[in-house]
């Protein structure tokens, strides 16, 4: 099937219209028209080839909401007209221990990324959601329940699940004390989801100026991390801190805020961790862990939870021809809090 997307032809290029082919449907494939696609900071890293494994031409986008246009002969869970979603991965081996217990993102053979990945069957480069159409195997297609605002649902597929998964892993609920560092696309979802799960939520920020935003999102308060006295009096007060800062920073001051058995969860790739004081880790069994998206079943649980609780990202909806400007603005954190592309603004080829 011929389709069109916005692609970078080589590393660092601006995105421009590009016609390409989507594969013919395999028996277990679902074809969809993309309705909305969120813009994630990963898209910037990949287009710039910051991680060195980009494949070009590259159509980014892994927060995808669409409508089913066709299904393969063996598909049982979806039919034409269904509202669906695809996140950061489109395939995995389906046979290893991780796939069997629903953590396909940790597949022993590696998940297949939605873009800048290699199809497991024919080796073709995968292309993402800044495009008119998408084809994905049934097992990696999510269902969007009726009533969820489609224009704001897309960021649940990456920003949402990335913050929901650690909250669930730590059994966060009423009575839990949760801290959130950073108030961007991921951070604002961490606040909303932790509040939705019933936790007491505090935003941690270097300055006071985020306080009104934090309270608007449902947080109970703001802790200013540059205020030594406030940091001292907040020691041992959090069960879980979700750290969304995407660049290298000192973790030790945050470790001291954790209660015994508490966890500091890194959801950004910050590279080498240096100068870490082991004292708060050893004396109190505190831990530093990382987390990456979530499995398919957990992603569906998140979408259903958000529909039930009416929890949605704060989005700025743009047209596809504004995408390069949006990527520049995202680099400056100039968005509250997630860009979503209305793909109706991209005409079919």
Footprint of Zn ion (CB under 5 A): 40, 42, 92-93, 96, 99, 107, 158
Burial 27-61 (b: 16+ CB within 10 A, else e): ebbbbbbbbbbbbbbbbeebbebeeeebebebbbb
Task: Give the pairing type, strands 315-319 and 238-243.
Answer: unpaired
Residue whose CB is less far from Zn ion, 139 or 211: 139
- Separation between Cα atoms, residue 223 and residue 206, nearest integer Å: 8
Q: Measuring CA to CA, which residue among 22, 31, 23, 24 is closest to residue 71?
A: 31
Q: Which of 14, 18, 10, 28 is nearest to 322 (CA)?
A: 14
d(CA 192, CA 190): 6
**Least distance in Å: CB of 15 to Zn ion?**
16
- Three-class SS of residue 127? coil
Q: Which is nearer to Zn ion, 96 or 317 (CB)?
A: 96
Kindly tell me which of 189 and 194 has the beta carbon lying closer to Zn ion: 189
**Which of 112, 106, 114 shows the shortest CA–CA distance to 37?**
114
Report residue 188: phi and psi, to 5°. Answer: -70, -30
Q: How far is the CB of 177 from Zn ion (least distance, A)?
A: 27
Q: Which is nearer to Zn ion, 57 or 110 (CB)?
A: 110
- Work out how close the CB of 311 gets to Zn ion at its nearest, in angstroms, rounded to a whole number: 18
Closest distance between Zn ion and the C-beta of residue 100, in Å?
8
Nearer to Zn ion by Cβ, of 105 and 176: the residue is 105
Between 2 and 108, whose beta carbon lies closer to Zn ion?
A: 108
Q: To the nearest whole angstrom, how small is the minimum distance from the Cβ of residue 32 to Zn ion?
A: 19
CB of 43 to Zn ion, least distance (A): 7
What is the nearest approach in angstroms of Zn ion to the Cβ of residue 156?
A: 11
Q: Which is closer to Zn ion, CB of 177 or CB of 291?
A: 291
End-to-end CA distance of the chain, in Å?
10
Cβ distance 131 to 36 under 8 Å? no
């Amino acid at each position: 099937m011929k389709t069109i997307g916005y692609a970078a032809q080589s590393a660092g290029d601006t995105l421009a219209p590009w016609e390409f082919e989507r594969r013919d449907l395999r028996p277990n494939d679902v074809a969809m028209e993309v309705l909305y696609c969120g813009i994630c900071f990963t898209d910037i890293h990949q287009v710039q080839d910051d991680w060195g494994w980009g494949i070009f031409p590259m159509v980014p986008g892994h927060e995808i909401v669409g409508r089913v246009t066709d299904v393969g002969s063996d598909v049982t869970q979806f039919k034409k007209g269904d509202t669906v979603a695809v996140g950061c991965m489109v395939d995995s081996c389906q046979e290893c221990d991780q796939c069997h217990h629903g953590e396909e993102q940790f597949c022993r053979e590696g998940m297949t990324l939605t873009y800048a990945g290699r199809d497991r069957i024919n080796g073709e480069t995968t292309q993402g959601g800044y495009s008119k159409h998408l084809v994905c195997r049934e097992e990696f297609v999510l269902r969007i329940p009726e009533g969820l605002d489609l224009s704001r649902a897309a960021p649940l597929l990456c920003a949402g699940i990335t913050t929901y998964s650690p909250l669930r892993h730590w059994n966060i609920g009423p009575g839990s004390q949760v801290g959130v560092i950073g108030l961007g696309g991921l951070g604002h979802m961490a606040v909303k989801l932790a509040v939705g799960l019933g936790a007491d939520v505090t935003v941690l920020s270097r300055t006071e100026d985020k306080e009104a935003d934090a309270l608007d999102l449902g947080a109970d308060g703001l802790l200013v991390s540059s205020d030594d006295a406030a940091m001292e009096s907040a020691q041992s007060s959090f069960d879980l801190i979700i750290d969304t800062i995407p660049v290298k920073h000192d973790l030790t001051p945050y470790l001291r805020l954790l209660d015994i058995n508490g966890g500091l969860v890194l959801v950004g790739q910050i590279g080498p961790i240096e100068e870490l004081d082991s004292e708060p880790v050893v004396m109190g069994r505190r831990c530093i862990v990382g987390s990456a998206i979530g499995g398919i079943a957990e992603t569906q649980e998140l979408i259903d939870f958000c529909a039930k609780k009416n929890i949605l990202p704060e989005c700025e909806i743009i047209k596809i021809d504004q995408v390069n400007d949006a990527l520049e603005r995202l680099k400056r954190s100039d968005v509250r809090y997630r860009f979503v592309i209305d793909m109706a603004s991209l005409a079919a080829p």
